[in-house]
Each structure stands twice: as C-alpha cells, then as structure tokens.
Amino acid sequence: MKPFQYRKPLSLAEALEALEEENTRILAGGSDLLVEMREGKSHPERIVDVKAIPELACFSIGEDGIIIGGRVTLRQIAESALLQKRCPLLVDAARTVATPQVRNRATLVGNLCTASPAADMAPPLFVLGGVVVVASKEGEQNIPIQSFFTGPKKNCLQPGQLVLRLEIPLLSPGRGVFLKKARVRGHDLATINLAGWVNPRDGAMRVCIGACGPTPVLLAGGDELFRGASGREKLIDGLATLAQAQIAPIDDLRASAAYRRGLVAVFLRRMTRVLFPEEGGWPSA
C-alpha cells in the first residue's frame, strides 16, 4: 500500500469538510477498500475513517420502517433477532456474505457503495424499496437504491458526499426469499443471487437478480404477471420469460452467460415454490 493521510473525524461536519479534498476515499469496514489498495487498484492520498461519526451508528427496526446506519456491520444485521422477525430476507442475505471475520468489519452500506453487480445485500434492498440517505455540505438527499447503482462497481455518489444510512420504508405484510449460488461458500462472490418478495394482499411481486447485468436487475412487470397468474407453474413460466428478456449476463471467471441464464431459471422456480408453498389461492384462478 502507498502512504496516505488518515483522518477519523468525530463529527459529521468534520467528515464532510475532509471529504472536500481531492483523491479522498471513505473507510468503513475496509474489506473492499483495503483489498483494492493492497492490490494496487487504488491509491488514495487521504482516507477518512467514518467509524466515529455518531450519525452513522443508528440501527432501528420500528413500526414505521428500518434504519441501518453507515457503521452497522453485517454481523449486527446477521445477528439481530428483531430483524430476523421483521425482515428475515435481510438477515438471510447478510449471513451469506464472505466470512465471519469479514462480517465483523464490513458494513451493509459499504457493500452497497462498492456497487458490485454481485453485491449480496442489493437484491433484498431492491425488492424492499430501500432508500440511500446521503449527506453533503448542501444537505441531505434521498436516493432510491435503483438509482444509486449506476454501473459495475459504480454508484452515483459525487465527491464530498457520504452515505449516512439506508432506510427501508414501512413494510407491508409480505414474505421474501434470498437465494445465492457461489462456487466456494464464503470465499467467492455470488455467481448469481436473487431476492423475491410478494405481498399477496396487494397483488405486489418484486424480483431482483444480481450478477446478471451491470447492476442488479429489478424485474419490470412482476406485479401484473402475479395478478394475472392462475397457478404456480404459470407464474414460474411468466417470470422466466420476463427475466430472460431483462437480464444481460456476461461470461467471466465465475460462470458463462449461458450457465447464469440456466441458474436464473432454476432460482425462479425455487423462489416461487418457497413463496407459494401451496398450489391454490391464485388471484385469477
């Protein structure tokens, strides 16, 4: 690693001041940034450690939604009994990320900021309608998670901006499922990952597929398909058609594009069977 200046601001104002400087990177858990630096892919001249900023420590799971601050680690999420009860989808995803050692440091917000197309925390937050709350000297800004991801390992943050927290608005009663395929558990990024969420009462269905495009793909048309579906097999077929038209997987070291397309079909079937354990009760049956 090349030398750099290290700062650990104790207040948000001080941090935002420090982030105005050129060639500055934000350090939270360090499990992505330090690897990048050690591999020579990034050479920041200044590092701002955000772990002492009080505003980033919030972690609340209430009636009106879920708030996860920028300092909250994946271990905190994986071990939250309340979150397990209110939003098991997030807990399931957090438990699959990397290793216990990494989860003890890595943060959910950091996972999003790295913006890997394979980020495991992204599909659940896409289907749950997560909002990224960003601070800068100009004030706060709410960014829907879909707009936050702009390309492979690219997010929409501008220099001088810092993510304060992730918010998930009031959860209507629904159920979700997270699925992930990795070559070696804990030691590789996802070959693909997928989150599905359904609220039968409102006729809402959302599916997000990761590692099958430059950013996670939130399937368009899920609600209409669900409302019109007359049975589980019909829904699986319809979702497969939607997905294959919207994903754009590539060949890389983890899998070929064709293998990913095959996996997506398998995962959609598996997801649908978990979300709808019974055959009956279809909106238009």
Residues in touch with other proteins (CB under 8 A):
1-6, 8, 27, 30-31, 34-35, 37-39, 45, 47, 49, 51, 75, 98-102, 104-105, 185-187
Per-residue HEC secondary structure of the chain comes to CCCCEEECCCCHHHHHHHCCCCCEEEECCCCCHHHHHHCCCCCCCEEEECCCCHHHHCEEEECCEEEEECCCEHHHHHCCHHHHHHCHHHHHHHHHCCCHHHHCCCEHHHHHHHCCCCCCCHHHHHHHCCEEEEEECCEEEEEEHHHHEEECCEECCCCCCEEEEEEEECCCCCEEEEEEECCCCCCCCCCEEEEEEEECCCCEEEEEEECCCCCCEECCCHHHHHHHCCCHHHHHHHHHHHHHHHCCCCCCCCCCHHHHHHHHHHHHHHHHHHHCCCCCCCCCC
CB of 251 to other proteins, least distance (A): 23
Please say which residue, 30 or 222, places its beta carbon nearer to other proteins. 30
Please say which residue, 28 or 268, places its beta carbon nearer to other proteins. 28
CB of 125 to other proteins, least distance (A): 23
Residue 176 has phi, psi (to 5 degrees) of -135, 170
Q: Cβ distance 47 to 25 under 8 Å?
A: yes
CB of 266 to other proteins, least distance (A): 24
CB of 77 to other proteins, least distance (A): 15
Q: Cβ distance 269 to 199 under 8 Å?
A: no
Please say which residue, 187 or 201, places its beta carbon nearer to other proteins. 187
42 by Cβ neighbours in 10 Å (0-12 / 13-18 / 19+) ranks as middle
Please say which residue, 39 or 278, places its beta carbon nearer to other proteins. 39
Pairing of strands 175-181, 192-199: antiparallel
Please say which residue, 99 or 244, places its beta carbon nearer to other proteins. 99
CB of 190 to other proteins, least distance (A): 15
Please say which residue, 71 or 206, places its beta carbon nearer to other proteins. 71
Please say which residue, 103 or 260, places its beta carbon nearer to other proteins. 103
Please say which residue, 34 or 266, places its beta carbon nearer to other proteins. 34
